[in-house]
Amino acid sequence: MTLIVTDTGFAPDDWPNGFHSLESAAAGAGCVECGIEIVPEDHIAAHRAEILAAPMIRVAVTGFADGRGFTLARALRLMGYTGRLRAGAGLIADQYAMARRAGFDEVEIDAALATRQPEEHWLFRADWRAYDHQSRLRG
C-alpha cells in the first residue's frame, strides 16, 4: 500500500490516472490525464512542453542517499512547472523538509516505511519553512 505524505500527515494515494515515462509522453503515447514519471537519467530540458503540460509529475528516487531527485525537483520548478510534484518512494522522514524546499508537494512512501517512521516523524518536519539554514543565518 502506498501512502502520500504532505504537511498535514499521511493520506492514501489519490492519483487515479497512473504514470508513464517521459519518453512515452514525448512520443505522444501517453494519456493526457496521466502523470509523468521522471527518472534521474531523463533530460528534462529536451521535453519542456510535455513537462509543463503534465498535471502530475513523480520523480523517481533511487534511495535516500541519492540527491538527484532534489535537483530534478528544483529544476522542474525553475523551468516553470506549477503542477503537482511528487517524490517517488525512497526518501526518509529526515529528508521531508528538504524535499519540500526543493519543490516537491508530497512524498510517496510504502507501508513498511510508514511502520518504521510513523506519521509523527514526518509531521515533526512539516514546518519546513521555519527551520531552514539560510533563515537562521540571516537572523
Span 107-127, pLDDT tens digits: 999 999 999 999 999 999 888
Both ends of the chain: CA-CA distance in Å?
42
- How many C-beta neighbours within 10 Å does residue 61 have? 26
List of the chain residues with pLDDT < 70: 30, 128-139
DSSP state of 38: E
* Radius of gyration for the alpha carbons in the chain, expressed in angstroms and rounded: 15
- How many C-beta neighbours within 10 Å does residue 69 have? 25
Span 85-103, pLDDT tens digits: 999 999 999 999 999 999 9
Structural domains for the chain? 20-125 (3.40.50)
